[in-house]
Structure formats: structure tokens, C-alpha cells
Structure 1
Amino acid sequence: MEPREHHVGFLVFDGMKMLDLSGPAEVFSEAGRFGARYRLSIVSAGAKPVCSSIGLRVPVDADAGDAPAFDTLLVVGGDRLPASPVDPALAAAARNLASRAGRVASICTGAFVLAAAGLLDGRRATTHWQHTALLARVCPTARVEPDAIFVRDGTTYTSAGVTAGIDLALALVEADHGPDLTRGVARSLVVYMQRSGGQSQFSASLQGPAPQTPVLRLVQDAVQADPTADHSLGALAARVRVSPRHLTRMFRDELDTTPMKYVELIRFDRAKALLDAGHNATEAAALSGFPSYESLRRAFARHLGLSPTRYRQRFTTTGAGSRTSPRGA
């Protein structure tokens, strides 16, 4: 029996990320080649065409207020969303469309639109790793998961950075049509059905604000200047002339971590930079202050869920010079 048509609506606005729209749309369209029936519509507040992040104009099919009830509503993201308040008309459009949709999803910073519409209250959610802390502040009742590629909470889905919209769309197709059809879509598009690791593998570990307390800034400067030096708790406390207990309390109160965890993050970021620059894992461990390759491997397992060697293979080249054809998922 032919599958029922599934209507997917994309809510767009000026400044939207083009890949937030085109990536998931390609997944749903490609699914049609394998027997799925998705119909795609693009709507905006006021039915106005919008200008994307790359300057291309995107026509729309309808005013969000006049759109039919969608089986799936997808709210795209845009660079201005984290920095600026969400347009009330955009938030109202999302709220109205969501009230009639079978399920609701956001791509990247589109989560801020859902938050402004009250659609993330009390729910688990995620967004791009650079903005998860801000999302937690603007929507304090949401349980923000900073390392997730995408999060499902009931019929509400949120996803991480732009390409995570493809991961999310594949998950939605799998929910509708099962893994066999979805595997065919992933192979055709040469993407993974489920990538390994979370979004921390793409992020810098120390993206938070710099320490404000002079003592903590001295510690940070000392570790960054020479990560291979003795940075034990006792050595750090002696360097800044406070007791180990007092230094630990300062780190906990201002940075919500311990001195040793902070030192590890600085060394970890240095090791990632060394691997990116072409050093092997043993060299990266020695030059970043880890006592052995094994200690570096454990740090990578804790923070990224993969080994230093796997990280280097994944992120130091696109494989453009390889003669091996990609096999997909």
C-alpha cells in the first residue's frame, strides 16, 4: 500500500541559514526515491520572501498564519538569533504552527525561536555548541544538553549546528519509514545514519568567559604559557600564594570546576591543536603536558568519546587526495 503523504513545513525568516533549509529538505526529497511521500512547503510570517545567510532570496509558499496543519514543522536557524531578541511575529508564527503540527523541530539556533514561543519550557533541548549556555539562560526551565547532536522530547526535536539538521531529518525519516529506507537515503547522500560522538568533538573546550579574579587569571596564564610544567594543585597554589583549599574554592565559585580539571582542559585544547597541526598522538601528549599517551587517550575518551588517533584521522584532512571512493553509511 502506498504510504500516506507527509507534509513538512519550514518556517523561514530573513537571515536564515541556507543549509538549515536545504540540508533537511534534501533528505526528505531523497527519501521519495525510496518510496516515502513527503511534500515540502516554505512559510514565513507575512508571506514575504526572505533573504538567506548567503544572500540568496528564498520564495515562500504561504503566510505562516494561513498555512495548513503540518505533519512536521521545522524551524530553521540564523546567525542573528542568539545575539538579538526573537521577532515577536516570528515567535507567534512558530507557536501557532506548532499548536497544529504533529511534531515540531528546530535546526541549530532555531531553538531560540522555539524558546521564545514557549515551546521548550520544561523540555530537554540542544542547539549549536557555541550557544547552549545562552539557550539555558534565556530558557531556564529547559534542560539543555550541550553535547547532543539532536534531542527528542516527546514530539519536540531540537538539533545542534547546521549539518546536524541532516542527522535530525534522517532520524525523522527513520521514525516514519524505518531503518532500511533511511539507510538507503543516507547511502545515496553519502552521510552517516548516525555519526559517532557528540558536538563537543567540533568545539573548543574553554569557550566560557575568561576568569575575572586576578589569581585565576595568573593560573590560566601560567598553564597556557607552559602546559608541560608542574601544575599540580600544590604548585599552582604556591605560585599564586594562596592555600590549595582556597584556590580550589575560587575555581569552584567562579568557574564551577576544579584547578586540576581546568589544567586538563587547557592541555586538552593544546593537544587538539597539535593534532590538527599534524603531530602524532605521542608527540601531542608530550608537548601539551600529558604524562603519557595513555593519559591523553583517557582525556579524549572523557571529553570526546574517541581516541586521539581517531580524532586526527577525522579532522586533519577531508580526504580530498584519497583515491578511495566514499562508501556512505
Structure 2
Amino acid sequence: MKDATLKQIALQLGISITTVSKALKNYSDVSEKTKKAVIDLATELNYTPNSFAVNLRTKESKTIGLIIPTVVHHFFSNVIEGILEEAEKRNYMVIILQSNENYELEKKQVALLLNKRVDGILISLSNGTGEFDHLKTILANKTPLVLFDKIAKIVNCSKVTINDRKAAYDAVTYLIKKGYKKIAHFRGSYLPQNAIDRFLGYKKALEDNNIVYDSSLVYLCENNLDFEDGYENAKKIIAEHPDIDAIFAVTDLVAIGIIKYFNEIGIEIPRQVAVFGFSNWFMSSIISPKLTTINQPGFEIGQRAASILFDEIKAKKNDEPVVFQSIELNTSIIEREST
């Protein structure tokens, strides 16, 4: 069955399409009798407005785009919840795309969202993103853009982050105060800003506590910061540095891989080696021993990023100037059994 149209309603009632449209919008220059007849027939025919036509008229799609590196991740699932809650308040739909940590895919997804004429875009950059022309294209298109979590500092737009450098500094300082001295770091790749900042926080904490930085204690995670990175690097570090006494991991998933390997070979955590994670993934409180970690407020990051984006969409609609915001949310240490 074809969808009912304004023309169909108008023909059946013997009135103009304009009158039908006005009746459905409750215009005062249409009689109550005509309004009732139009509404009754529209209900009978299950009429719904053509969203594409409405979008053309209002110059709004009532849709925003969201690009994240991965959906199956506790942190990003919390971010999505926060964004969806804000979108629902404003009757907006959210198109969610996953870049799989791939720069080329991320570029294609940006082009797709612009082609769909979304009202705004939220992005957490992939680990492979080192160039930002696609972001500049969004801004040149005058489409509101908010970056969160993994950002590009040189792109002039609103951003919602945590202070990754401070959070890492606090984590390593905590380990040092607990008496650990030979502390390794399983770091993220060299492109994402948050991985860079967590490494710099680690290094600064060592220096401020008179511990000489040793580059051989820094291991690169090359498989998108997953379980295998932690497991395989744990094998390497025990072979190369058997006297290690603590590891600060760039993410909880990496830390869980470390714990899995140590449990298999009988290394006692934290008596022999302490393990510290990052982001407070739900598995952190289930694994044995339970993982000490940095609590990263994913839901609030999503809420704030979406709220800022909607403010910018509204400002654009009203021809008001947009003032970019840089929001930095607080983190905290969640102390558990692994330290």
C-alpha cells in the first residue's frame, strides 16, 4: 500500500492541498469543521508527513552523525548512551558509524554524513588518523562539529576530553607511593593524542619522583589496544625485564591481557608485579584479581559533547555566533586488588 499524501486527502475532501496542509498545522484561517475532516481522514489513511519535504522546508534533518572507533567497548557504549539520551530530549535521530580505527574509513564516513545533510557531527578519532582535512571539510561546510576523547588539538572546534596526561601522572604517582620503582608502560600508538598524553604523564611522574626514565620499559600496543597487546607484551617484558614490579597499561583491555598471562604462569599480582589500567571497563571489577584503574566518565562525555553540538546547531539556525568550547572532565583512581 502506498503512503497517503496531502494530494490524496485533498482530492477525497474536495479542497486544496494548501488547505489540507494548513489544517494539519492547526492554522487559524481554516474552519474547525474542515480541520476535523482533514484530521479524521488523515488518521484513517495513516498519513505521516514526508520527512524529506519537511527537511527541505525547515533546512533541518533532525539527525546527527556519530563516528567512533568501535561500538563493542565499555567506554564507547557509555558514550553512546549519553549521546542518545541528549538526542532523545530534542527529538533527534543519531546515525552511529564505526571507523574500526581506520583513517580512510573515517574519511568516507564523514563524506557520507555530509551527503546525508546531518545537522551536526560528533567524532572520536581513529588511532590511524594523523591528517585532518576531512574535519576541516566539515567546518568549511558550516556543519557543527564536536570532537571527544581522541581529538585533534589543531582543529578549531569544540572538544570534550579528560586530562589524559594528569590521569596517567596520577596513576604512576600512586604506584610510586605504594613502593613500586621499576614501572613499565604499555602504551598506545604514536598518533592518538590521548595515547601520547598518557605516555607523557607516565614519563613526567617518573621524573618528578627521581626515577630515571628507561625507554626499554615502554612497550607499544600495535593491535588497536586489545587483549592480545597486553598478553603478548607481558610475555616479552617478563623475558626481557624479569625484575619489573609494576605495569601501567594504556587501557583496561590491555591490562586484562597482562593479568591473564601472569595468572597462567603463576606470577602473583600485586605481590610480584602490580597492574594498573585505564578507563574502568566493566571487566575490571570482574577479573581476578580485580583491576585498579582510572575511572573515565564515558556517559558524561557523551552527554556534554551532544549538548554542546545541539547548542551549536541551534546557534547556526538562529544565525548566532558560535563560541567553541573545550570541556575537560575529571577522572579518579579506582583502587582494587591488582595494586
Q: Higher relative contact order at CA 8 Å, sep ≥6: structure 1 or structure 2?
A: 2
Determine which structure has more spread, i.e. the larger CA radius of gyration.
2
